[in-house]
């Protein structure tokens, strides 16, 4: 999967160095994961009527968030949404299909020019 862009919490850390476009997120940013919604697998502004994820999270796992090109072009409802590269939970518990790294490792990979992730299942 290719890394398309990086989103981050500017209130928690400086902009990470990376080889793709970067932008800060706000409390009004979300990502639609409702296959019946026309905005499925796209960023949305909150509040949003369809099922969605809030990107501005208290737990810190989306403090740095890489948008991967899974199911983006074209978007196919039900094929998967919100597949991100993000910060791992402290216990490294499983994600819901995302790729997660410890924050220092994630920042190091981005600074080294990471633009693609190969996942084997």
Please say whether the dihedral angle defined by the alpha carbons of residues 80, 34, 96 and 83, taken in this order, is positive or negative: positive
In a domain, 24, yes or no: yes
8-35: per-residue pLDDT in tens? 999 999 999 999 999 999 999 999 999 9
In terms of pTM, does the model score above 0.85? yes
Q: How many domains does the chain have?
A: 1
Question: Is 12 inside any structural domain?
Answer: yes
Question: Does any domain span residue 27?
Answer: yes
Asked, for residue 117, whether it belongs to a domain, the answer is no
Structural domain harbouring 62: 3-111
- Is 118 part of a structural domain of the chain? no
């Amino acid at each position: 999967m290719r890394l398309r862009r990086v989103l981050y919490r500017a209130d928690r850390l400086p902009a990470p160095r990376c080889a793709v476009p970067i932008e800060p997120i706000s409390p009004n940013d979300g990502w639609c994961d409702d296959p019946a919604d026309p905005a499925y697998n796209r960023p949305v502004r909150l509040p949003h009527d369809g099922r969605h994820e809030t990107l501005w999270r208290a737990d810190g796992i989306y403090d740095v968030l890489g948008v991967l090109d899974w199911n983006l072009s074209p978007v196919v409802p039900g094929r998967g949404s919100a597949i991100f590269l993000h910060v791992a939970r402290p216990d490294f518990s499983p994600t819901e299909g995302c790729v997660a790294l410890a924050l220092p490792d994630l920042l190091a990979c981005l600074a080294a020019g990471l633009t693609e992730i190969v996942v084997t299942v």
